[in-house]
Amino acid sequence: MKSFSFFTIALLCLAILIIDILAFVGLQSIVNYINSASIKLIIYIVFWLFSIGLITSILILKIRMDNVHPSRRQLLISGLYGLTVSSFIPKIIFVSVITLFYFTKFLSPNSNWLIFVIVLALLSGFFPFLVIVYAIFKAAYRFKIHRVEVELSNLPKSFLDFKIVQISDIHIGSFNSRYHILDRAVKLINELKPDLIVFTGDLVNNYAWELKGWAKVFQKLNAKHGKFAILGNHDYGDYSEWKTPKSKQSNFESIKYFFKKIDFTLLLNEASIVSKNSDKIAVVGIENWGKPPFKQYGNLNEALKDVKNMPIKLLLSHDPSHWTEEVIDKTDIALTLSGHTHGMQAGVNLKSKKWSPIQYKYKHWAGLYQHKNQYLYVNRGLGWLGFPGRIGMRPEITCIQLKK
């Protein structure tokens, strides 16, 4: 919220108030059929207490933003995002339904549709509210394992059935030191008995202090042939204000050092060789590369310079848009692993059918993609950012098995 002006926040509050007034008018048309005056009064008081309380909280938080500790600020903002979405969206749907039936005269006291309209209007408000509440308190931490097989024509024999577990976009500050939640994900990962664990960026939201106490959780991750990581756009501190360039650099160095503490090899425009028996594959990792306004720290040519002759190259690149811009038809990289999109934390996943609003911004946003003999897998993310929940887009652990 700090990045928005007070005028923008005031406009948001005005929009919330307008929707609440319209929702209240619609609510009155239903509540009028209740005979008890005291029950009516209680409903009205509760409605406006919540509405005024939300608007007041948003304004106070904006005014006091600079005086709130970043950890507390982050928690408050996420909570208010959740409250705003859980209030705003159901009320918009409720108002739309009431307005539709009002203008079609179905809300007339003499209409046979009256009971149907009342029930539909209430459901149109309560159902989205319940979905959003479930998304925040349950679905946000219902980790799902996606199992994928990738066939590579020149895969060395020793790497047949080689198991790669990918995690991405943890945004550890959003977990607010609830170590037990991520412990569940770590247990699921270890039960897969991975040969390799890779992390494809966005460890934090912005700050190194978010990592306090988390080393003991990540140190439990086990992989037979190593653990590798890259940085995401949020790991550079570009979305925060810093007193000096030195303080930003210190934050950045602390984040990089954390990977060393948890025994992950951080690849910064470089490659590492993974050996099994007498065979080898290359794991290549580049710094964040995204289309503007995202920064382009990545240098693929630099990362590939020592492994050009390797038969199989696995690329870790945070932003999936990099695949179409610099990888396919320009390199012989067999498999690219990305994250970044979160699947927008909202969408539909039904067997082979998937949809999310994020697809109108990113062509490749979740799951496996193929172009000739080159593959891209986009992980839906393990954590969350902004809206503190997930609707139809559960946090993901990817298990990729290599086939010939």
Separation of alpha carbons 46 and 55, rounded Å: 14
Stretch 146-153: mean pLDDT: 96
d(C-alpha 230, C-alpha 289), whole Å: 11
* Listed residue (218, 235, 233) closest to 341, CA to CA: 233
Residue 43 DSSP label: H
pLDDT at 386: 87
In this prediction, residue 1 carries a pLDDT of 45
Q: Angle, nearest 10°, between helix axes 6-31 and 114-137?
A: 140
Q: Give the list of residues 6+ apart from residue 102 with CB closer than 8 angstroms, or none.
A: 29
pLDDT band at 29 (very low <50, low <70, confident <90, very high): confident
Rounded to whole angstroms, what are the CA distances from 233 to 42, 70, 275, 287?
48, 19, 30, 9
Tokens of 188: 């699921």
Q: Quick check: 223 pLDDT over 80?
A: yes
| Residue pointed to by tokens 């699921």 | 188
Q: At what angle do helices 37-63 and 70-103 cross, to 10 degrees?
A: 140
Q: How many CB atoms lie within 10 A of CB 400?
A: 23
Domains along the sequence of the chain with CATH: 6-137 (no CATH), 143-403 (3.60.21.10)
In the prediction, which pLDDT does 327 show?
98
Per-residue pLDDT, averaged over 81-107, amounts to: 76
Q: What is the CA radius of gyration of the chain?
A: 25
Mean pLDDT of the chain: 90
Distance of alpha carbon 171 from alpha carbon 237, whole angstroms: 13
Q: What is the pTM of this model?
A: 0.87
Query: What tokens were used for 61?
Result: 């938080």
pLDDT confidence bin for 35, thresholds 50/70/90: confident
Tokens of 48: 């406006």
112 vs 150, residue with greater confidence: 150
321 with 290: CB under 8 angstroms?
Answer: yes
Q: What pLDDT shows up at residue 134?
A: 92
Residues 6+ apart with CB under 8 A from 352: none
User: Cis omega (within 30 of 0) on the bond before 293?
Assistant: yes
What does the pLDDT average to over 335-361? 93
Nearest residue to 169 (alpha-carbon basis) of 318, 297, 296, 375? 318
Q: What percent of the chain has pLDDT over 70?
A: 91
Is the confidence at residue 288, as pLDDT, over 60? yes
Q: How long is the chain?
A: 404
Does residue 2 have a pLDDT over 60? no
Name the packing angle between helices 70-103 and 114-137 (round to 10°).
160
What pLDDT digit, counting tens, does each position of 372-382 carry?
999 999 999 99
> Residue 311's closest CA among 332, 336, 330, 335?
332
Task: Average the pLDDT over 130-135 and give the result.
Answer: 89
Instruction: Give, in order, the Cα–Cα distances in Å from 37 to each of 33, 34, 108, 122, 251.
Output: 10, 8, 22, 20, 59
**Percentage of the residues of the chain whose pLDDT score is greater than 90:** 63
Distance CA 130, CA 127 (A): 5
- The residue with tokens 């303080």 is 247
CB proximity list for 141: less than 8 A, separation 6 or greater: 181, 184, 395
